[in-house]
Amino acid sequence: MSGQNDFPTEFDFIIVGAGAAGCVLANRLSARSNLRVALLEAGQADNTPRIHVPAGTISLYKSRKYTYQYYSTPQKYLNNRRIHVPRGRMLGGSSSMNSMIYIRGARSDYDAWEAMGCTGWGYDAVLKYFMREEDNHLHQDPHFHGTGGELVVDQPRDPLGVSRLFIKAAEEVGLKENTDFNGAKLDGVGIYDVTQKDGKRLSAYRAFVAPVRSRPNLHVLTGCKVVSLVTDGKEVQGVTIERNGQFHVLRARQETILSAGAIGSPHLLMSSGIGNAHELLAAGVPVVADLPEVGRNLQDHVDGLVTIRSDSASTLGFSTASLSSVVPSPLQFLLKRKGWLTTNYVEAGGFASTRYAKDVPDIQFHFVPGYRSHRGRLFEWGHGFALHTCVLRPYSRGSIRLARDGSRNPDIDFNFLSDERDTHVLLEGVKLARSILRASPFDAIRGKEMAPTANIQTDDQLIEYLRASASTVFHPSGTCRMGADDTSVVTPDLKVRGLKGLRVADTSIMPTLVSGNTNAPTMMIGDKASDMILAEAV
């Protein structure tokens, strides 16, 4: 261990991960001035326009500086392809690189958690946290929305006209416009609400931590890799970190809280000897606690794409015709927060039901008002538009395990489409997406369908296309499952079973994946966790 430190080493609470949940926790816990709080982030500061300018998000997905460049194991039901899984590695975590869409999910998602024995996690109980955090600028229904919170919820500053065409096209095939996906109903299509302030990204860090970073009891440590938990028998006493090439032990007088995400939190548990005993021993890790379900129950929204070429410069894209829009865009953004740099690339979308749905929609659309490469490239010359379709409540379950190659890196196996029910829902969803893009509002700008292509028409052909191309919309969850049963990883108060001084608060605790983007629900989890923690704090 190193000698002299330039930071304290003993705290009341240590929070691992400065993402959506961790930042909310840091804000709420440090509001009590007698509590010393450490917020640990392996990445660096967020001081780059690539994060704060909405259109910069596209430059972050392959960044090694700001993003963990994970890849899944070969996916058996997706032609053994490895799926790219980028996760945020900077202050704000993935909330500093996502598409800023503000979606909470369906009421039934949370009521289902309550029915599973997760007391206090029903919709009516969690709604107050969504509302407490929110500063709604859209004058939406006050029964569902809050004002005065840290998180600004607004509309995109300058959505492209082609995004409005999507809404008209969806209406033509029977879907209705919805101006508030977080209100009384989820179904329908519309322009998505976003977490932006003054036209710039508002990450969890910028909303909850940056304004209070001067609190003397709040210590934010960047470039701080947590190597393992420090345990004494069945009690977690803190963490071992690596920072600037030196190792340090940080002690938590009260609790250590893992908010490292659905990949990071189970990975740290297993690296510290907490998980399936047989697998830990096989990976060469001494067993501290045998919790077989750590890393199990991995869920994500599997996604299929329909992408169309267009000759119209009204869509996002690079061409001679678009130069008149591209060249002035930096100045437009600086002066008026207008123009191309305001886009989050998925300005519109919505929720719909296939024939397999029951009471709530089972698919979600993300409409791209520009050409989405059928070859997986970030940029393609020319223009077009595209529609992503994902399965909202997948039945397939995957896992996070420690690699057995000696690296102890996380092996990520989504096991996508292992349950045929997901295949059927995705198939129907992509067929509906095709019908929307073939509707008359797009007639004037529609070109060739590049994927799946006109040659792919039958159900069997479409399924083969999906196995060759389906991916994720980056919503991993469920790997430290919350529950009342003895096999769950955490209890409904988010304490890790069989251990003292340790909780998990992030998407990993979700018993089942919510129906939509996970940023807002993750902040809610951090907020609710803070109340439970403060109720027991000394």
Positions annotated as catalytic residues are 475
Distance CA(123)–CA(101), nearest Å, equals 20
Q: Six-digit token pair at 168?
A: 């008209």
> Residue type at 348?
A
Distance CA(89)–CA(84), nearest Å, equals 15
For residue 328, give the 3-state DSSP assignment: coil
Distance CA(528)–CA(121), nearest Å, equals 9
Is the preceding omega at residue 452 within 30 degrees of 0, hence cis? Answer: yes
Check: CB of residue 188 under 8 Å from CB of residue 175: yes
Distance CA(361)–CA(37), nearest Å, equals 41
Is residue 226 a known part of a binding site?
A: yes
> Residue type at 205?
Y
For residue 287, give the 3-state DSSP assignment: coil
Cα-only R_g, the chain: 23
In terms of Cβ atoms closer than 10 Å to its own Cβ (0-12, 13-18, 19+), residue 228 is: middle
CA distances (Å), origin 100, targets 148, 161, 202, 526: 19, 20, 8, 18
Q: What are phi and psi of 90, to 5 degrees?
A: -165, 170
Q: Which residues are annotated as a binding site for FAD?
A: 226
